[in-house]
């Protein structure tokens, strides 16, 4: 290593790292290894071994620190003298070998010994400076993984490895100085080794870099293995034929759903016994042997509003499923049986997490049918003409009083795209109309005390009270 190089690195390395640079370059002994506050005693002891220049000097040969990097014979001789293990020798040597992994490293080592018998006296390394003998743990980790995933249906896996930062930095420093250009970094090589061994036990699993069925997190220090069963997502559209079902679970107002519920919610913890989320989600959760669900709707209707037509698009997220493949038609009939005429779906399809954001952001025009009662019995012809006159009008809607506690006060402009049908039945009127996304439709009728202008109430010149409302179609 030249001093020029050292200067360059100084800009990026902390004081401790610089010290390590010297220490591992043989300029200093390892009597007082500076350690970060959270390092355990065991680790410091390991570092003592690692940075102990005496190991190398004890072989009676001085190291050539200016050796060219691998794959030159001098470079290979150098990393062998440093004490790298066969796994690491394989990945940094840059030589073509018959075998991969440690067997490949063994070939490289034997070749080097044949070239220069002097290297052989370095013997078997005790602690590899590149991996701290991490590869010895591969078998152990693999058996933990196979135990953990037994009984969990999956076809893909992704690995996340946590390694101590100082190990990564030191490995990177030695590899980039002495390893062959393009050598596989420690983390990637470690994952390769785990996956190669795992393939002997789980022959039909594919290893992926994104959207895995199972995310396997391995802590290289403690060898702890965590399995994260990724959720599955189903897309569909629901029709809601009841005026008494919220879209998602509502915790009980009295106990807020805590503990095991209270008297007023009969121990359910829920304000309403049913929800679209559970009517659709529960049969699916059971079929997929999952833990819970999350419901993502393309907007929502009030509890007392039906949703008809092709229904409202939604994504059902099924968490921690032990089963990830299922006949979809069968799931549809399970849901419809459970919905018993109050909630219906026509179909389901598998989808991905991305779809959640997509339907959450989506805004679409809707067609509504609304029935309301007039404070004075209207003249049929005049009333129909007045309401039809709203077709194409742009409304100004101040934030309705009923939602003002959770929405900022502002005025929205929303267009009434068309008024499609008006019928007068005594003192009640039914209107079918299509509005721009985000129109407050009840307020369009009763005017919210003049906060929506114009309104059905203002053009009829009487008070209007909404009797019921249906979403006829979401034009998606």
Active site positions, annotated: 302
Nearest approach, Cβ of 87 to Zn ion (angstroms)? 5
Q: Strand pairing partners for 464?
A: 374
Q: Which is nearer to Zn ion, 251 or 309 (CB)?
A: 251
Number of residues that bind Zn ion (CB under 5 A): 11
C-beta closer to Zn ion: residue 21 or 255: 255
Q: Please count the helices (runs of H) and the strands (runs of E) in the chain.
A: 17, 14
Site for Zn ion in 269-288 (CB under 5 A): none
Percent of residues in the chain assigned helix, strand, coil, to nearest 5: 35, 25, 40
Q: Which of 163, 198, 255, 466 is the binder for Zn ion (CB under 5 A)?
A: 255
Q: Indicate the residue among 80 and 245 with the shorter CB distance to Zn ion.
A: 80
CB of 254 to Zn ion, least distance (A): 5
Nearer to Zn ion, 127 or 241 (CB): 127
According to CB under 5 A, which one of 127, 254, 328, 334 is a site residue for Zn ion? 254
Which CB, 13 or 262, lies closer to Zn ion? 262
Q: Closest separation between CB of residue 130 and Zn ion, Å? A: 4
**What are residue 395's DSSP bridge partners?**
414
**Residue span 124-143 as binding mask against Zn ion, x where in contact by CB under 5 A, dash where not:** ----x-xx------------
Q: How many CA atoms lie within 13 A of 84 on its CB side?
A: 27
Q: Does 174 bind Zn ion (CB under 5 A)?
A: no
R_g (Cα) of the chain, nearest Å: 35
Euclidean distance between CA atoms 65 and 83, whole angstroms: 14
Q: Which stretch binds Zn ion (CB under 5 A): 26-34, 99-107, 252-260, 366-374?
A: 252-260
Residues 6+ apart with CB under 8 A from 327: none
| Alpha carbon distance 83, 80 (integer Å) | 5
Choices 256-264, 274-282, 389-397, 465-473; region in contact with Zn ion by CB under 5 A: 256-264
Three-point CA angle 156, 160, 162, nearest 5°: 160
b/e burial code for range 212-249 (CB count within 10 A of at least 16 → b): bbbbbebebeeeebebebbbbbbbbbbbbebeebbbeb
What is the Cα–Cα distance from 263 to 187, expressed in whole angstroms? 55
Q: Is 252 in the site for Zn ion (CB under 5 A)?
A: yes
Interaction residues for Zn ion, span 70-109 (CB under 5 A): 85, 88
Told to check if 265 binds Zn ion by CB under 5 A, we report: yes
Beta carbon of residue 249, minimum distance to Zn ion (angstroms, whole number)? 13
How many C-beta atoms surround the C-beta of residue 347 within 10 A? 12
In this chain, which stretch among 150-158, 261-269, 275-283, 286-294 interacts with Zn ion, using CB under 5 A? 261-269
At closest approach, how far in Å is the CB of 79 from Zn ion? 10
Per-residue binding letters, 421-450, with Zn ion (x by CB under 5 A): ------------------------------
Cis peptide before 383 (omega within 30 of 0): no
Binding positions for Zn ion, rule: CB under 5 A = 85, 88, 128, 130-131, 252, 254-255, 261-262, 265
């Amino acid at each position: 290593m030249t001093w020029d190089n050292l200067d360059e690195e100084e800009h990026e390395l902390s004081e401790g790292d610089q010290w390590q640079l010297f220490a591992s370059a043989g300029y200093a002994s390892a009597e007082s290894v500076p350690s970060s506050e959270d390092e355990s005693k065991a680790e410091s002891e390991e570092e003592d071994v690692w940075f102990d220049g005496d190991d190398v000097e004890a072989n009676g040969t001085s190291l050539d620190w200016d050796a060219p990097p691998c794959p030159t014979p001098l470079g290979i001789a150098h990393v062998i003298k440093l004490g790298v293990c066969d796994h690491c020798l394989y990945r940094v040597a840059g030589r073509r070998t018959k075998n991969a992994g440690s067997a490949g490293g063994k070939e490289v080592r034997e070749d080097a010994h044949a070239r220069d018998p002097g290297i052989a006296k370095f013997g078997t390394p005790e602690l590899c400076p590149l991996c701290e003998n991490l590869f010895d743990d591969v078998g152990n980790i693999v058996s933990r993984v196979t135990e953990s995933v037994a009984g969990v249906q999956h076809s893909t896996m992704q690995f996340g490895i946590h390694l101590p930062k100082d190990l990564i930095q030191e490995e990177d420093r030695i590899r980039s100085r002495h390893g062959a250009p393009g050598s596989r970094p420690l983390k990637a090589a470690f994952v390769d080794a785990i996956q190669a061994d795992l393939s002997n036990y789980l022959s039909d699993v594919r290893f992926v870099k994104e959207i895995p069925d199972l995310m396997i997190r391995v802590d290289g220090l403690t060898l702890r293995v965590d399995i994260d069963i990724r959720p599955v997502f189903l897309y569909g559209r629901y029709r809601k034929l009841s005026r008494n079902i919220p879209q998602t679970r509502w915790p009980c107002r009295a106990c807020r759903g805590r503990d095991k519920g209270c008297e007023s919610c009969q121990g359910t913890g829920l304000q309403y016994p049913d929800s679209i989320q559970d009517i659709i989600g529960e049969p699916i959760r059971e079929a997929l042997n999952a833990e819970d669900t999350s419901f993502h709707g393309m907007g929502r209707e009030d509890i007392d509003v039906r949703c008809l037509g092709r229904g409202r698009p939604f994504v059902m997220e099924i968490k921690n499923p032990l089963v990830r493949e299922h006949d979809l038609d069968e799931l549809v009939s399970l849901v419809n049986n459970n919905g018993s005429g109050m909630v219906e779906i026509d179909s389901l399809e598998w989808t991905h997490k991305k779809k959640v954001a997509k339907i959450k952001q989506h805004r679409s025009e809707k067609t509504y049918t609304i029935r309301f009662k007039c404070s004075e019995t209207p003249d049929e012809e005049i009333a129909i003409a007045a309401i039809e006159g709203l077709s194409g009008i742009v409304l100004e809607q101040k934030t309705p009083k009923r939602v003002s506690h959770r929405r900022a006060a502002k005025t929205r402009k929303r267009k009434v795209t068309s008024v499609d049908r008006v019928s007068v039945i005594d003192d009640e009127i039914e209107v079918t109309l299509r509005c721009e996304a985000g129109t407050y439709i009840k307020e369009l009728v009763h005017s919210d005390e003049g906060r929506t202008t114009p309104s059905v109430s203002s053009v009829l010149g009487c008070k209007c009270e909404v009797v019921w409302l249906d979403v006829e179609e979401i034009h998606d």
